[in-house]
Amino acid sequence: MIPPLSHPALFANSPKRYVEHMPVEPPNDVFAHHQRVEHDLRRKAETAQLLLDAARYLGETLEIERVYDRFHELLADAIQHDGVVVSSFDERENLIRCEYAWVEGQHVDPTTLPELKLSTAGGMQSEVIRTGKPLLENDVGGRVAGDEGGTFYDVDREGTVRKLPDTGPTHVQAAMMVPVKHEGRVVGVVQLMSDERTYTDEDLELVEGLVGQMGAAVRMARLHAERRRAEAAEAAANAVAAEREQAARLLEAVGDGIFYVKSNGLVRFWNRSAELIVGLSSEDVFDRPAAEVVPGWAAIAEQVAITEDDSVPRVARVPVEVGGRELWLSFVAVGRPEGVVYAFRDLTAERELERAKSDFIATVSHELRTPMTAVYGAARTLLRPDIDISADQRSELLEMIATQSERLAQITEEVLLASRLDRGEVAVESDRVDVAELARRTVETMQPQISVAVTLDAPPEACATGDHDRIQQILINLLDNAAKYSPEGGGITVSVSETDGHVQLAVADEGVGIAPTEQEAIFEKFYRVDPHLTQTPGGTGLGLYICRELAHRMGGEIAVESEPGGGSTFVLSLPAG
């Protein structure tokens, strides 16, 4: 007859140790009395030693199943039995569940035994749970037959369950049932059963002691299991947190702007690149509605298609106004269960570069077409047999061909040099160059070719470290630009000076000047100011870019100081030599 109990564990080997029972002595026999006392003391000492050994043996494992197995081993060494059941009691549901069962030499799967509802009137297990006191019954069959309030089951070694007494009498002769307690509350019951013998109060006392040790060992094992579960949960949580942190670091490191909008419309992530592109910090937008804080959100929401499956996201280019300037941003959007992840990059520079390239192609085509048309026309005129051309006219036509050919060569050289600079194929020397002498010779050579008067202000000597030919190329380019933008009657001043370990070569004109917003852009490739402001054709837009790149390769810098209507001064600064 088997109802259920507590929680599983195991045992290993323990010495065989049965506590002997004292036979009944004749009355008024002094010798027998002393023998009984001596036997009682010996029994108590053996019991104490057995319980001490049991505590050590049970405490050697922290696995609940092994605690139960070891507990059964100790019972087998101490008291004869044919079955043992350990059950737990759930106080909230008033249910008794089997945790461990051993019947006639075989372990029985505890899950095969039915759960029992706590009886309020009968039942041996229920009585132990209700009273909190152990129970010793040497006539189990009679108890089953006469107890109408309890539910009784019998289990054989095969795990077959019979309800008693409906399916016949029980084979169990005697049973001991001991409560398992924790902080005064009954949390389980241990049943020990025998088919052949009866049990004594001394047996019950010994089982109580072993059950107490087993209960303590099970609690320790459960605490250990709970701690391991807690540690595993903490480790899993830490792993998830570390993974999220790593993902966040990766998202912070990527060059694309990334932000996450939850289904409720609130921004829940905004990476560093998004801050740099748009100019809004994470604190400015976090946990706020995207419609209020994300620039151009209406256009983004309307034009950017959200990819919901594993297909390749569609790219959408959206113009967004940020801080008074228009940015062209490339967006993709991927839907998630609770929101949408947006990734974007700034294509403004690429778009401007494409526009500049288109302008450059148009400009170069125009710049090439003009001299080529002049050369072609002059050559065809010289070749016409039906026209008498005087010597002066022939000379003028040849001079035109030479001049326009030189212009073609200059345009071609600028384009090729810019390309070589981009590829890093332009080598510069690092020599000691007298910049003052170079300026004197260059101005002297260039003056006949410039319609504007050039004034030179230079010391007898000012040496810098650099490439003589490249410094001269920069100066020629600056003089050519100054002449283009100088009004009739204006002048150009070339000056050389030494300051703080540097030699500065400056070219100043009295032209239209340059707006502050354009003073950085004029050094970019293909950039040209309004060609209507020049006295000559606008050029390719590569001259100042070449000047800047050559200056950098010589360890120098080039800058401009200008105000609209107040002329411009370009300053090349090189390390003193």
For 92, counting Cβ atoms within 10 Å of its Cβ (0-12 exposed, 13-18 middle, 19+ buried), the class is exposed
Write down the pLDDT at residue 14. 39
DSSP structure string for 211-265 = HHHHHHHHHHHHHHHHHHHHHHHHHHHHHHHHHHHHHHHHHHHSSSEEEEEETTS
> Could you list the mean pLDDT of each consecutive 10-residue stretch along the chain, which spans 577 residues?
34 40 56 72 75 82 88 88 93 92 90 87 88 93 75 79 80 93 92 92 90 90 88 87 78 84 92 89 91 90 87 87 86 90 89 79 76 86 86 87 83 81 87 94 89 91 94 91 80 92 94 86 76 54 88 94 90 93
Sketch out the chain's domains with CATH numbers: 30-217 (3.30.450.40), 257-346 (3.30.450.20), 350-422 (1.10.287.130), 431-575 (3.30.565.10)
Residue 322's Cβ-side half-sphere holds a number of Cα atoms within 13 Å equal to 19
Write down the pLDDT at residue 367. 73
Write down the pLDDT at residue 550. 93
DSSP structure string for 130-142 = HH---EEES-HHH
Neighbours of 355 (CB within 10 A): 11
Write down the pLDDT at residue 34. 67
Where does 79-200 have alpha helices with state H? 124-131, 140-146
Q: Is the pTM of this model over 0.75?
A: no
Can you tell me the distance from the alpha carbon of 161 to that of 88, in angstroms, rounded to the nearest whole number? 19
Write down the pLDDT at residue 76. 87
For 152, counting Cβ atoms within 10 Å of its Cβ (0-12 exposed, 13-18 middle, 19+ buried), the class is buried
Helix/strand/coil for 313? coil
